[in-house]
Amino acid sequence: MDTAWIQIFVLTLAECVAPPGKMICQEREFELQFLTQSDCESTLQQLVSLKDASDTVIVDKSKSGCAPSARQQRVFSSLAEATEAAEDKQAWRAPRTQLPAAESAQDAHKSRLETLPTCEASKGVAPCKVGEIIIEDTADVKRGEIWRRD
Three-class secondary structure of residue 65 per DSSP? strand
Q: Looking at residue 77, what is its pLDDT? A: 82
pLDDT surpasses 60 at 121: yes
- Integer Cα distance of 10 and 34 in angstroms: 6
Q: In terms of domains, do 15 and 80 share one?
A: yes
Of 40 and 73, the structure prediction assigns the larger pLDDT to 40
The predicted structure's pLDDT at residue 97: 53
Tell me: do 81 and 107 sit in the same domain: no
What is the pLDDT, as a whole number, of residue 39? 92
Asked, for residue 3, whether it belongs to a domain, the answer is yes
Average pLDDT, the chain: 81
Domain residues for 121? 102-139
pLDDT(19) > 70: yes
Condensed to tens digits (0 to 9), the pLDDT of residues 33-67 reads 998 999 999 999 999 999 988 888 899 999 999 99
CA dist., res. 131 & res. 13, Å (int): 33
CA distance 60 to 49: 12
Q: How many domains does the chain have?
A: 2
In a domain, 91, yes or no: no
pLDDT higher than 70, residue 101:
no
